[in-house]
Every structure is written in C-alpha cells, then in structure tokens.
Amino acid sequence: MSFISLKESNSSLLNSLSKILPFLFILIFLSSLVLIAKTYPLNIDLKFKTANYIQCDTLLIQIQLSRDKDFKNIIHQSNWLECQSDDYFTYPVNVPLIQGSFYWKGRHKDLCTSEISAWSLPFRFFLLLDSKQLIPGDSNGDSLFNISDLVYLINYLFKGGPPPTPLQTGDLNCDTKSSLSDLFYLINFFFKSGPFPCIPKL
C-alpha cells in the first residue's frame, strides 16, 4: 500500500469517526439521564411508637433499611440519633425509586449503661410507582400469585393480620376496596375456575 493510499484511508476513517462521535456523546448523555432518573431517591418518613420509652432523654435510636426481610440487602443504616420526646419517633430517609417492598427496623442504646437493645421486628412498606407493574392477586407482596395470597387475605379479613401490600393488590374484583367479596373472588378462582384477578388500579 502506498503512502498516499494509506493517508487517504486514515483520512476516510477520521471523517467517519467525526460523524459518529457526536451521536455517541448524545447517546452516552441520554443514558446517564436515564440512570439518574432511575436512582434518584424519594424522601419518606419512617415512624414508630416510642410512648413506652420511659426515659427517652437517655436513649439513642438507630434505624436500618433493607430491600429484603432478612436484611441481607441493607441499603441504609443511620447513625445513633437522639430519641424524640413525643409519642412517635420519625426518621426521614431517602429511598431509591424501585417499586416493591422495603423493610426497616430500629434499636436503642442506653446512654447511662451503654447497653444496646436487640433489633425490633421489621416493619414493611411498599413503594408503589406504577400500578401496571403490580401482579394481580399478589396480596402478600412477595411478587408471586398463589394460594398463600388467599391465606394472607383470610388472615387480614378475619384475624386482624396485616393488610395487603399495597392495598390495591387486595382489590381482586376492582371495586376499589378490599373486602369479603374479594375473598370469594379468590376462592372461585382457585377452586371453581373463576376469573383471574383484575389489574390493580391507583
């Protein structure tokens, strides 16, 4: 290959790159915006009752937040915080914009004795961003629809169990409420080939 043809080849390559590079930069920029949009945090308040804490002024509180109930995927742990003197302790936390269940728990430290309590039982909340992504009939929020959702709904309606998470998943017939009729709807589906639960609505 001659020097002239090599020079022409390099020039052609540079011209091609100069045309492609602006589009690559635009693509990278747009991708970064999407990534930021997906991870931008939402600020929410976690609250639990502290009225039974007799000496709140000598206690510090610590909070842990996780994506799973076993706390293997901890996404936040607070420093030791002063116990608030009213009946409830409120802690603002940034939650990633990911639809699904989040779990959190707390413990306290006695300033007089330096004794640290065991972690509380976990609390759960569901971050609902798009009802179209909910699984119809998934009353217990485990991302599955099966007979355990029927048991969960029975416990909620008759035994004072926790409500469906989120509440829309307990509305199986889409009448905007979770009631006995939804339980019958679910029984008909599992045992009498009834219709599939409807898509939850906001």
Alpha helices for the chain (secondary structure H):
3-39, 147-158, 180-192
Which of 92, 127, 162 is the last residue before a domain boundary? 127
* Domain boundary residue, one of 108, 127, 146: 127
Tell me the residue type at 137: G
Q: Could you tell me if residue 110 is inside a domain?
A: yes
Look at residues 98, 127, 156 and tell me which one is the last residue of a structural domain: 127
**Is the full-model pTM beyond 0.75?**
no
Whether 199 maps to a domain, the answer reads no
Helix (H, G, I), strand (E, B) or coil at 13: helix
> Does residue 150 share a domain with residue 103?
no
11, 35: one domain: yes
Could you tell me the CATH number of the domain that includes residue 113? 2.60.40
Q: What local confidence, expressed as pLDDT, does residue 63 receive? A: 93
**Does residue 79 lie in a domain region?**
yes
Sign of CA dihedral 186, 188, 192, 196: negative
48 and 33 part of one domain: no
pLDDT in tens, 149-197: 999 999 998 988 888 878 888 888 888 888 889 989 998 998 988 898 8
Residues 11 and 85 reside in one and the same domain: no
In a domain, 177, yes or no: yes
Q: Same structural domain for residues 36 and 70?
A: no
For 44, how many CA atoms within 13 A lie in the half-sphere containing its CB?
14
> What whole-number distance in Å separates Cα of residue 79 and Cα of residue 38?
26
For residue 35, the enclosing domain spans: 1-40
Domain assignment present for residue 201? The answer is no
Same domain, 49 and 123: yes
SS3 140: coil
Tell the residue number behind the tokens 């990534």, with chain if given: 35
Into how many domains does the chain fold? Answer: 3
Q: Look at residue 6 in the predicted model and tell me its pLDDT.
A: 44
Residue 25 counted as domain residue: yes
200 part of a folded domain:
no
- Rounded to an integer, what is the distance from CA 94 to the centroid of its chain? 11
In 78-119, where do the E strands start and end?
A: 81-82, 88-95, 100-110
Q: What is the mean pLDDT of the chain?
A: 78
* 116 and 65 in a common domain: yes
pLDDT in tens, 109-138: 988 889 999 999 998 888 887 777 788 888
